[in-house]
Structure 1
Amino acid sequence: MLAKANRIVRGDDFRRIVRTGRRAGGAVAVVHRARPEAAVARFGFIVSKQVGNAVVRNRVKRRLSEIVRAELDAIEPADIVIRALPAAGRADFATLRAGIVPLLERRS
């Protein structure tokens, strides 16, 4: 799990990042990146019902969180929202990681 300082939880923050941030897409997710409001990288995850049932959605969220936690030191401070696409529900961990890490490394 990500530290509290690295999580986005307010709906207003999610809306601001998705609407005003720069977007980079891949096969399994779309990453929205906006200017940071804090001195650290903060992350939020959007996993809709199109991804799968509750078990699948929660598994995808846990996997995304673990991928981000492992890459946290290499990511410059920004507010980032990761929106999972339906393919993320069918992807294994290695495929999901391969699809997310390049999107996280892109600069805004």
Structure 2
Amino acid sequence: MLARENRLSSSDQIRQVIKLGKRSSNEFATIHFLPAETSRFAIVTSRAVGNAVVRNKIRRRTKAVLSELIEGKPQIHGVVRFRPGAAMLTFDDLKASILKLMERTEK
């Protein structure tokens, strides 16, 4: 689970990252990111992704993946936004997709 200190919680922080940050995308998700002193993330899933059960499953899985990745990656504030195709991903596919996005934040 993603610890509280590793979450972007206010809508102002999320808007700032989306507006001022860089962006990297693949077919299932987009990550907006800014360099920071500590890694903090927000996860956004719109209704287009699926019903509440599907959206919450994607959020839980993403939090599990991000909690594993926080230590070894560069320190960023990131907002992960999912596209409708993400509803069909298995856990391993979701993890691979997020890993690819995180690798792009290092450049």
TM-score, normalised relative to structure 2:
0.94
Corresponding residue SS for 2:78: strand
The superposition leaves residues 34-90 of structure 1 with CA deviations (integer Å, 9 ceiling, x where unpaired) of 132xx3100100000000000000000001101101111111111011001111111
Correspondence for 1:19: 19
Correspondence for 1:55: 53
Q: Does 1:100 align with 2:91?
A: no
Correspondence for 1:9: 9
- Whether contact under 8 Å (1:34, 1:78) holds in the other structure is yes
Q: Report the number of matched residues.
A: 106
Counterpart Cα distance in 2 of 1:79 and 1:105: 14
Identity of aligned residues (%): 33
Corresponding residue SS for 2:24: strand
Q: Which runs of 5+ in 2 are unaligned?
A: none
Counterpart Cα distance in 2 of 1:35 and 1:62: 24
Correspondence for 1:33: 33
- Whether contact under 8 Å (1:23, 1:33) holds in the other structure is yes
Counterpart Cα distance in 2 of 1:16 and 1:56: 27
RMSD of Structure 2 on Structure 1 (CA): 1.0
Corresponding residue SS for 1:61: helix
TM-score, normalised relative to structure 1:
0.93
